[in-house]
Amino acid sequence: MTAAGVLLTVAYDGGAYAGWAPQKHAVTVAGTLLEAIRRMAPAVDEVRGVSRTDAGVHARGQRVAFDAPENIPLRGWVLGLTRNLPPDISVRAAARVETGFDPRFHSIGKRYIYTVLCDPLRDPFLEGYAWRLPEPLDLEPMRRAAATLLGTHDFRAFRAAADERTDTTRTLRRVEVLRDSADPRLLRVIVEGDRFLYHMVRILAGTLVDIGAGRREPEVCAGALASGERALLGQTAPARGLLLDEVFLDREGTERWPP
């Protein structure tokens, strides 16, 4: 039977999973999605995602491709996978692409949103989706620091020790700190760029929080870019506040469903 490529847009709550990437002895988002796909097309052997989100990180716009029999329509994939997936993973759309399509090589950027809750008490409706801090944060120095990160820089200071890539130059097109107009307890750190290093957004968010709390000066971000010293920066923010909001591709496929 002739195969065809399928490109999915997938949303998930990462709280119950050991990250995106398949692991032999852990429940992952990719593994759970592949199991659901195989119930419809047993011959499918892999799913190709753009971003290897960590354990506890959420996504609204993860992009995933796989090759499957072409006789299953896109509507069938979306509705069939909805029936086969647990409630914390949702297929939001499907499109046709060529076989072998790997969205990693067609990604031209990503947008992440990190949510901070400034509240001395727990909010059960935000538990697992925001980093709760008991103290208020000063947005003005956070925004001054964020502005120094815009553009193309060597971000080697903004990565975890496990990231051994030699190319650490990245371009950030947007770094904003916004207060939620509907709920002033919530702050959103919005980061958009071409590519990201391991833990880069979480280190960036944790540093901005330390600056907003007065534990570091806004100038530390520029200093870390110049020196490459991780020690200048703040803490790594917890995974639960991070959302992969959107992945931008240079090709979106055809015959998208829903239209």
Give the residue numbers annotated as catalytic, written as ranges. Answer: 54
Q: Residue 187 in contact with residue 112, Cβ under 8 Å?
A: no
Half-sphere exposure of residue 188, counting CA atoms within 13 Å on the CB side? 17
85: helix, strand or coil: coil
Name the DSSP class of 43: T
163: helix, strand or coil: coil
Beta bridge partners of 62: 10
Rounded Cα distance between 89 and 10, Å, is 7
- Helix, strand counts (H, E) of the chain: 5, 11
Q: Residue 48 in contact with residue 33, Cβ under 8 Å?
A: no
Longest dimension (CA), the chain: 63
Q: Quick one: which of 139, 2, 170, 9 has its CA closest to 72?
A: 2
Rounded Cα distance between 185 and 136, Å, is 8
Q: Quick one: which of 8, 239, 221 has its CA closest to 101?
A: 8
244: helix, strand or coil: strand
Rounded Cα distance between 49 and 243, Å, is 15
